[in-house]
């Protein structure tokens, strides 16, 4: 399986650092998810860590997980995201999620799992092998502060680069609420594929479900996206 060369990575990192520097953003990363929970308590006290990254539910270490935290010039946490290598147990993703979609609920909601459901799209039925789950994606800061800066594109591509460097997976996947997907966030993150209506989450006591999209990238998609000049994505984000 092909991965980026050192020169490709160096070019992307240099261009990314320039955009991050212009916005006074510094990134740190780690593989200790107890530390990540502590950072969340500092930077997002109203947010519960997502179940896929909760160290009380999963054994996570440098072999199967990594998190990223961004801080602004005041050392305030303004960004998070995390990656986790999934164990599909030699099943296609569609089968894995059909039996285990409950492992990826929206954070902080009282979900009625009996009424909630997952519907596999054609992409999920084709995905297998090494699959990385991408979640915990959040951008803080004052409203409009980072709009048009290209940061969403940079940070999304940075997650893809981390996945390639650590695992060179066959696919990276994520889940996204329908309203967020409709605002174009999947494209700004760099995702080239989306399957609508794959998740319907019911909150206890409510009749209308929350609809979720699955977004995904193949190994080839990621290499294509990482080869695209960042200045082109900055223009699209403006």
| pLDDT at 234 (0 to 100) | 53
Of 178 and 9, more confident? 178
Q: Taking all residues of the chain, what is their mean pLDDT, rounded to a whole number?
A: 89
The Cα 121–Cα 194 span in angstroms is 10
In the β-sheet with 131-139, what is the strand arrangement from edge to edge?
A: 26-30, 65-71, 77-86, 131-139, 171-177, 210-218, 193-203, 111-118
In the chain, where the domains are located: 6-229
Of 149 and 213, more confident? 213
For the domain covering 6-229, report its CATH number. 3.40.630.30
Of 237 and 196, more confident? 196
Ramachandran quadrant class, 23 (left: phi over 0; alpha: psi -120 to 50; beta: rest): alpha
| pLDDT at 22 (0 to 100) | 82
Per-residue pLDDT at 30 exceeds 60: yes
Per-residue pLDDT at 208 exceeds 50: yes
Task: State pTM to two decimals.
Answer: 0.91
Q: pLDDT tens digits, residue range 126-183?
A: 999 999 999 999 988 776 676 656 688 889 999 999 999 999 999 999 999 999 999 8
The Cα 95–Cα 100 span in angstroms is 8
Pairing of strands 77-86, 111-118: unpaired
Closest by Cα among 85, 67, 90 to 168: 85
Of 20 and 45, more confident? 45
């Amino acid at each position: 399986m092909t991965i980026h060369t050192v020169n490709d990575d160096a070019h992307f990192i240099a261009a990314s650092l320039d955009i991050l520097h212009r916005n006074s953003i510094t990134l740190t990363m780690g593989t200790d998810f107890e530390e990540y929970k502590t950072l969340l308590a500092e930077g997002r006290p109203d947010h519960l860590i997502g179940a896929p990254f909760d160290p009380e539910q999963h054994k996570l270490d440098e072999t199967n997980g990594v998190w990223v935290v961004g801080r602004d010039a005041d050392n305030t946490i303004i960004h998070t995201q995390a990656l986790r290598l999934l164990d599909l147990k030699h099943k296609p993703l569609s089968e894995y999620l059909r039996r285990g979609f409950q492992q990826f609920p929206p954070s902080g909601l009282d979900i009625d799992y009996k009424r909630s459901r997952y519907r596999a799209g054609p992409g999920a039925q084709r995905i297998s092998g090494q699959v990385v789950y991408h979640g915990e994606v959040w951008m803080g800061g004052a409203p409009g502060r980072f709009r048009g800066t290209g940061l969403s594109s940079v940070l999304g591509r940075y997650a893809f680069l981390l996945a390639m460097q650590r695992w060179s997976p066959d696919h990276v996947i994520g889940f996204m609420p329908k309203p967020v997907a409709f605002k174009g966030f999947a494209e700004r993150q760099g995702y080239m594929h989306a399957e609508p209506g794959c998740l319907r989450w019911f909150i206890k006591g409510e009749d209308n479900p929350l609809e979720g999209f699955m977004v995904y990238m193949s190994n080839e998609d990621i290499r294509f996206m990482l080869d695209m000049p960042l200045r082109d994505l900055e223009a699209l984000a403006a």
